[in-house]
Structure 1
Amino acid sequence: MNRVDVDTAPPLVADLDGTLIRSDTLLECFWKGMGVAPVRTVATALRLFRRRAALKHALAEIARPEPGTIPLDEDVIALLASARQQGRKVHLVSGATRGLVEEIAGLYGPFDGIDGSDRDGNLTAHRKAARLTERFGHRGFDYVGDSVADIPVWQAARKGFVARPRPAFLRLLKLKGLEPAPVGAPWRTRDLLRALRPHQWLKNMLLFLPLIAAHRTDAAGISAVVLGIVAFSALASSIYIVNDLIDLDADRLHESKRNRPFASGRVPIKIGMAASLGLGLLGMALGAVLGGWMMLVLLVYLVSTLSYSMHLKRVRWVDVTMLAGLYTLRVVAGAVAGGVAASGWLFGFIFPVFLSLGCVKRLTELSRARGDGFLPGRRYQPRDRDDLLNVSIISGIASVTVFVAYSLSDTAASLYDPVRALWAVALLLSVWLVRMIWTGWKGQQDYDPIIFAITDRQGVVLVALSAALLLYSGT
């Protein structure tokens, strides 16, 4: 590539948030803060919401992301490298706090100039345009940005570039007489859908258990439970997004979680926040249709999952207990939605099963982890494997014991004939639990035992045989 006249070539100025990096440092600080000091973070955000520069510095003082893990935009990096090869000067000028700009620039430079926001001024929009015009002159620089806030800067620049624009944004820019050159592809809707984890919605089929256990097949009960499943799925997806945003740093250090849509930068954080809010409101609205008790169950689920995401998942043993409790809460929701009085037998069986699977989840993570330290974002280390194995086995035995005791009860005798078919189900259940625990111990599962359970052929056969026996013996 031919070098240009260094004295006449205009410098190329790049933004940081959403441009050099596929993220937003303000939102990174906010969500990191929500994981370590949620009350202080929310209070700070509310107090300084209208003072953006002060807010950025205050949140950065509470918690800062790891600069070396934040995903880069390789297309923008290539554009900057090309400018350097031409002999042009390259500057990094951002609305992010100057300290963060300097840290990131130090990792991915060199840059000929660096600037960022201070406590008194937010270096964005017209303020940034004025700063660059004062330094380089009107039309004396090229600029690569990504958002509406960059419009005044593009208007002052000789040439513009826009990082990963969506078609609607390009149309807006054209209406304003701007046609910056696109750099990179925009985020995709299918990546956002992946962040909702629709495969996890299968867990909400647990809401059907109270109806199945009570041998209820009426249309009213089934339709109410289906609506409850949709409500739980929407609320669960809302919380999955929150969990992913809180775990950005930890996920980026994980073998497979680093590829999640927000950790990898494939979907902007602000899009995730909007989707989470919308799904949360949808879930609660559907709960309201089912009545006050369902609203209460959903509210308990919401508070519990947020508590888990923000703190309890980092408390050893409490985390797996919470996971089991959240699964059990789904059964409660099914009973409330379907108008069924679920028996203590059902809850006594379900809770230890999912406590066992929660331990299997941690066993799998430890078996597949590299090194001897703590799991990213968790308080387990390799020496905990034996304890997790013991708890998973004891919980599995407890669940099978409860099931066998149930088979000997008058309730079971009134619902199943011959009742001894339940003993065969108990045996199949025992084999299934042994397989789940063993594969977790050996690290042969993916990181979610529920997903493994529905994709494992041998396990599916065991569950299908159990279901067939229950249908055969049901009265």
Structure 2
Amino acid sequence: MIDTADIPLVVDLDGTLTPTDTLLESVVQLAKRSPIHLLRLPFWLLRGKAGFKEAVAAHVGIDAERLPYNAPLVDYLRAEKSRGRQIVLATAAHHSIADAVSARLGLFDQVLATRTGHNLKGPAKLQAIQDHVGEAFVYAGDCTADLPIWQRARAAILVGVPQHVAAQVRQATPIERDFPRARTGLATWLRALRVHQWIKNVLLFVPLLTTFEFTDPDKLIHMVLAFMAFSLAASATYVVNDLWDLGSDRVHPRKRLRPFASGALPIHHGLVVAGAALAASLGLAAAVSPGFVGMLLTYLALTSLYSWVIKEYVLMDVLMLSLLYTIRILAGSVAIGVATSSWLLAFSVFIFLSLALVKRCAELVAMHESGAKATRGRDYRVSDLVVLWPLGVGAALCAVVVFGLFISAPETQTRYGTPQLLWLVAMGLVYWMARLWIKTSRGEMHDDPVVYALKDRGSRLTVLAMIAVVVAAHSLVLDLQP
């Protein structure tokens, strides 16, 4: 093993110093700023890789303050820097990104990066290193593209390198340090796809339950297919939304730990998985009915509109969220070919508006506790709580009022064996919604009230009890007259 303590250390950026891909992040930001730019990408590619990066960098920049960094590697570089070792950043990323990262970390004596007409990758990077650093250098990299550089280096630093690539490096080059990447298994992907959020798509079954046709096997099969179609579509949109919000998520106290924001999962993997989930979703929807495909496409269009535009506008975002919940119920009706009552739609709009406001208020309460004054990427301020609070509680009470009117409606009196029992459901709704709002005021609410309801024993018991009472009210014929 040779002594490398005084040999200059050259460090790669994408996948090494930061686990993310700054070019892909730039393209995502470009699409977010103006989707019309996506049509220009093929023409920019005709300029070559360096020209493409130059064009993208001219329209959007990376905030080096928000990038995730490989903490163990950065700590090692700081220790080496304190000993007086020369450290160089050499990257295929555009020089504007590399310069920003260098200024952010304050570690590098020199920056080598892609500039106009010269893409610094593979052999081109090796030549630049030899020209500016010399033949004696240690290289820190992460992938197959770095093999030509490792072969000429005096020693290698491996950062999250796949085992088969690491084996090739070890055969030809001494290893100075090895920084293995944390394993990203099934649990990480389940978090990224937010499989726990699939519970929201149980709303598709509401028309099946309210019409009491859950004993029909054909309709049950259609509902299961519809549930999977909506769930896969939702997961695809969650992934795209997380990629869309990388910058704002990274400054959020909890969202910064999401797989893509933290760099635990690569951006290009997310795009591939989102595309596959969307394709599978549309295939399942087609197996249900053409009308259901239309409902799914409507849902995708509205959720995309929410992610691209509406989520940044105060109140419009919560109204859209309540609509997205309600569309699930409408889609369930289409899947089994039944009409949705106006009572159910009115009740859904109000209760889901209240739940959406719970979500926003929970975020603002958490921000208030951390000392922040306003959200990033959304037009909300902590001072808005004085308006959002009564609005959310009022929406919950409106849902209860609608449910009370539904109990007294003539069609309910004739359809249910004992409609008076439904007043117990109304009381349960008052308790459950009040409980959610109290937990929100105490700062105990999760970012998503659905997740909280799943984990909260009191919420689970209350919802199950209300469902049981509805079934009993329909099936039992009791004389409750005084």
TM-score calculated relative to the size of structure 1: 0.92
Q: Is the 8 A contact 1:65 1:249 kept in 2?
A: no
Q: Is the 8 A contact 1:187 1:267 kept in 2?
A: no
Aligned pair in 2 of structure 1 residues 422, 123: CA closer, same or farther (>3 Å)?
A: same
Partner of residue 43, structure 2:
47
Q: Is the 8 A contact 1:142 1:159 kept in 2?
A: yes
Partner of residue 22, structure 2:
25
Q: CA deviation at 1:410?
A: 3.2
1:253-332 matched pairs, under 5 angstroms: 253-332=251-330
Number of equivalent positions = 468
Answering whether residue 340 of structure 2 is matched by residue 349 of structure 1, we say no
Q: CA deviation at 1:223?
A: 1.4
User: Secondary structure of 2:253's partner?
Assistant: coil
Write the distance in 2 (CA, Å) between the matches of 1:82 and 1:354: 53
Partner of residue 188, structure 1:
184
Write the distance in 2 (CA, Å) between the matches of 1:85 and 1:166: 30
Write the distance in 1 (CA, Å) between the matches of 2:453 and 2:50: 49
Amino acid at match of 1:230: M
Q: Is the 8 A contact 1:245 1:269 kept in 2?
A: yes
Partner of residue 56, structure 2:
59
Deviations 1:205-228 (A, max 9, x none): 111101000001211111111111
Q: CA deviation at 1:16?
A: 0.7
Write the distance in 2 (CA, Å) between the matches of 1:186 and 1:4: 26
Aligned pair in 2 of structure 1 residues 372, 261: CA closer, same or farther (>3 Å)?
A: closer
Q: CA deviation at 1:186?
A: 4.5
Answering whether residue 117 of structure 2 is matched by residue 127 of structure 1, we say no
Write the distance in 2 (CA, Å) between the matches of 1:169 and 1:283: 36
User: Secondary structure of 1:69's partner?
Assistant: coil
Q: CA deviation at 1:409?
A: 2.2
Partner of residue 470, structure 2:
470
Aligned pair in 2 of structure 1 residues 236, 178: CA closer, same or farther (>3 Å)?
A: farther
Partner of residue 208, structure 1:
205
Answering whether residue 55 of structure 2 is matched by residue 68 of structure 1, we say no
Write the distance in 1 (CA, Å) between the matches of 2:373 and 2:20: 28
Write the distance in 2 (CA, Å) between the matches of 1:154 and 1:168: 14
Q: CA deviation at 1:324?
A: 0.5
User: Secondary structure of 1:274's partner?
Assistant: helix
Q: Is the 8 A contact 2:205 2:223 kept in 1?
A: yes
User: Secondary structure of 2:10's partner?
Assistant: strand
Partner of residue 225, structure 2:
227
User: Secondary structure of 1:474's partner?
Assistant: helix
Partner of residue 480, structure 2:
none
User: Secondary structure of 1:193's partner?
Assistant: helix
Q: CA deviation at 1:246?
A: 1.4
Aligned pair in 2 of structure 1 residues 20, 210: CA closer, same or farther (>3 Å)?
A: same
Write the distance in 1 (CA, Å) between the matches of 2:5 and 2:10: 18
* Runs of 4+, deviation exceeding 6 Å: 2-5, 174-181
Q: Is the 8 A contact 1:48 1:54 kept in 2?
A: yes
Partner of residue 479, structure 2:
none
Amino acid at match of 2:462: L
Answering whether residue 98 of structure 2 is matched by residue 90 of structure 1, we say no
Q: CA deviation at 1:176?
A: 10
Q: CA deviation at 1:195?
A: 1.0
Q: CA deviation at 1:112?
A: 2.3
Amino acid at match of 1:385: L
Write the distance in 1 (CA, Å) between the matches of 2:4 and 2:461: 69
Could you list the runs of 5+ residues in structure 2 that have no partner in the other structure?
A: 476-482
Write the distance in 2 (CA, Å) between the matches of 1:292 and 1:160: 57
Q: Is the 8 A contact 2:318 2:353 kept in 1?
A: yes
Match of 1:150 among 143, 146, 151: 146
Q: CA deviation at 1:179?
A: 8.6
Write the distance in 2 (CA, Å) between the matches of 1:421 and 1:117: 71
Amino acid at match of 1:304: L
Q: CA deviation at 1:252?
A: 1.3
Aligned pair in 2 of structure 1 residues 278, 176: CA closer, same or farther (>3 Å)?
A: farther
Q: CA deviation at 1:43?
A: 2.8
Write the distance in 2 (CA, Å) between the matches of 1:24 and 1:198: 25
Aligned pair in 2 of structure 1 residues 182, 337: CA closer, same or farther (>3 Å)?
A: farther
Q: CA deviation at 1:20?
A: 0.8
1:427-466 matched pairs, under 5 angstroms: 427-466=427-466
Aligned pair in 2 of structure 1 residues 443, 86: CA closer, same or farther (>3 Å)?
A: closer
Match of 2:156 among 160, 165, 169: 160
Write the distance in 2 (CA, Å) between the matches of 1:4 and 1:226: 61
RMSD: 2.4
Write the distance in 1 (CA, Å) between the matches of 2:81 and 2:455: 50
Write the distance in 2 (CA, Å) between the matches of 1:12 and 1:62: 32
Aligned pair in 2 of structure 1 residues 121, 419: CA closer, same or farther (>3 Å)?
A: same
Q: Is the 8 A contact 2:91 2:121 kept in 1?
A: yes
Partner of residue 100, structure 2:
103
User: Secondary structure of 1:420's partner?
Assistant: helix
TM-score calculated relative to the size of structure 2: 0.90
Amino acid at match of 1:103: A
Write the distance in 2 (CA, Å) between the matches of 1:31 and 1:276: 14
Q: Is the 8 A contact 2:81 2:87 kept in 1?
A: yes
Partner of residue 395, structure 2:
395
Deviations 1:225-264 (A, max 9, x none): 1111111111111111111111111111111111111111
432-441 or 271-280: bigger deviation: 432-441
Q: CA deviation at 1:97?
A: 1.2
308-317 or 161-170: bigger deviation: 161-170
Write the distance in 2 (CA, Å) between the matches of 1:85 and 1:395: 59
Aligned pair in 2 of structure 1 residues 254, 123: CA closer, same or farther (>3 Å)?
A: same
Q: Is the 8 A contact 1:349 1:403 kept in 2?
A: yes
Partner of residue 422, structure 1:
422
State the identity as a percent: 32
294-303 or 402-411: bigger deviation: 402-411
Amino acid at match of 2:42: L
